[in-house]
Amino acid sequence: MLEGDIAAATEREAARLLERRGLSVVSLRPDKVQALPGRRGLRERRMRGRDVILALHELSTLLESGVGLAEAVGAQSRSAHHPRLLAAFETISAALRRGQSFSQALLDTGLPLPPYVGTLVLSGEKSGQLGKALRDAVSQMEYDQQVQSEIRQALTYPAVLVTAGIGAVILMFTFVVPKFATLLTRADELPWLGWAVLSTGMFAREYWWVLLVLLAGAGAAAWRSLQDPQARARGYERLESLPVIGAWRVEAETAAWARILATLLGNRVPLLDALSLAQAGVRAPGRRARLDDVVRNVRAGATLADSLEEQATLTATGYNLIRVGERSGELPAMLQSLARLCENTGRARMKQFLALLEPLAILLIGSVIGVIMIGIILAITSANDIAV
């Protein structure tokens, strides 16, 4: 009988490691978490999107190398990834042994995957090119993550600036404005701006808890709206009507739709089925409805380019690329070109929008602080004039 400690993410993995050493496991007892090399903090940290991308990238590499699906999934279930990913691949492995499809098993794991991943994996199963379809899905996920990373980096400085400005305004209302509260006894003789600033400052100091409750309520309402799929869809629809950011959203939606459609057609999915499945990358309900009309028109015998132009879903360049692709038989390649064009254009619009945030934030915070200072100065000078 041997006793000792072994570090593993789960009890099942610990038993497997012991069996590899030729030992028969009698009992296991959880102890304090110890990190394996390359697994530091697996239990502590939250699973990130990069973890999912890396796991799917490894799986697609195994499949494209000729490894069988069951063997590849089994290898991933023993690899050094996040515990949640280990459990997901073990669940997929068990589902495959029961005869369930990989696409359905992947969706049943509950992993945070974009809607188009299931669509691409399903198309890969139908065409017998699962590895390629999975790699295409990983490429799209990497692009989405890169865009999100660029947005976060660009928003860091404006966010810090706005936070510092809000803190400065709170400090002024809390410590500076109340020093001049005695001037409110002459409210009838004060300028309107001076009275408004002093009154707002005194109200904020006396009823700070009311403002805190209102702020918390607004935050909770915003969070609930973000968690509601219908509310998010309506938000995307409204964003498309805004200047600069609206054009960016349209380019992003078009790029996602064109890339998914090109991948589906490249995997030999029929055009009508591919058009229906490609809508998984479209979030705005109005655009999704127009694409439904496009599918009906194509089913009735119209060309894809003419149907898209009739519904005003793309730009003139997009219609020309798709029309050339239909005539030459290279529609997937033309759709990939359209996706790259929209991605580059959308990224340029995104940088343009983010470049405007910094001066707008400076102007906003400066205007608020300036109004407060002008109000205080007007109140002081008015009181001095009255005293004279």
Decide: pTM greater than 0.85. Answer: no
Domains defined for the chain, CATH in brackets: 1-45 (no CATH), 49-142 (1.20.81.30), 155-388 (1.20.81.30)
- Dist CA 123 CA 266 (whole Å): 10
117-146 burial, b if ≥16 CB within 10 A, otherwise e?
bbbbbbbbbbeebbbbbbbbbbbbbebbee
Rg (CA), the chain: 29
Q: State residue 27's pLDDT score.
A: 85
**pLDDT tens digits along 79-130:** 656 777 888 888 888 888 888 888 888 888 888 888 778 878 887 887 778 8
**pLDDT tens digits along 218-242:** 888 888 877 777 777 777 777 777 7
Q: State residue 122's pLDDT score.
A: 81
Q: State residue 208's pLDDT score.
A: 78
Q: State residue 45's pLDDT score.
A: 59
Asked if 38 and 80 touch (Cβ cutoff 8 Å), the reply is: yes
- Averaged pLDDT, groups of 10, the chain, 388 residues long: 76 77 82 47 62 87 86 77 79 86 86 80 80 84 80 80 82 76 66 80 80 86 77 73 76 83 80 81 79 88 88 83 88 88 81 79 84 81 58
- The type of residue at 24 is S
Q: State residue 186's pLDDT score.
A: 63
Q: State residue 264's pLDDT score.
A: 79
Q: State residue 40's pLDDT score.
A: 43
Coil, strand or helix: which one is 200? helix
Q: State residue 385's pLDDT score.
A: 56
